[in-house]
Amino acid sequence: MTQQANNDITIDQPASSVQTAGVAPIANQTEGFTFNHTMLRVKDPKRSLEFYTGILGMTLLAVKQFEEMGFDLYFLAKLTDEERQNLPEGDDLTIYTFRQRGILELTHNYGTEDKEGFSYHDGNSEPQGFGHICFNVPDMAAAIAWFDANQVTYQKRPEDGKMKNVAFIKDPDGYWIEIVQADLMA
């Protein structure tokens, strides 16, 4: 890291950083900021929780219920066995949840599960917006076999298109989930 001064703000820049338009220097004032979670609205929390815990192996960390406002929040993370065995309890678990990186928040607005034909915009059809979340897997072939055995819906299989070794699956609400194997991405 190299230290630079800019308008009385000390910043860190990776020594190997490439100049890209729009990239600003990182201000020290952001030290300790953590990108905690991404929120997706879901029609039926039972189906979504079964998918994210059963198919993708995430752990439900916290549920926040806001009955007077008509919605619940479900916070999930992809944890190791050791992390799952050592989770704190009570308020400490809530604090733990909001200190993590890569949390998925599923928001369920009451009544959507009963609305025939109701769906959320996945962000990939017009007008495009949000695109997808991504999971790294240790073995792409094994992951694809697991998804196939569980009748997961694909947007793109890894052998299709120009982007080889990248798959896109869909969750119960049609949100895209990119599946990559890190060592195949180089």
Backbone φ and ψ of 81, nearest 5°? -55, -45
Residue with tokens 């997808």: 132
Return the amino acid letter for 9. Answer: I
Residue 61: how many CB atoms within 10 A of its CB? Answer: 20
Burial class (CB in 10 A: 0-12, 13-18, 19+), 173: buried
Torsion (CA) 155, 40, 88, 56 in degrees, nearest 10: -10
| Structure-token match 């479900």, residue found | 74
| Whether the Cβ atoms of residue 49 and residue 74 lie closer than 8 Å to each other | yes
Catalytic positions are 178
Look at strands 71-77 and 26-27 and give their pairing.
unpaired
Helical residues (DSSP H) of 1-156, grouped into ranges: 45-49, 81-85, 91-99, 140-149
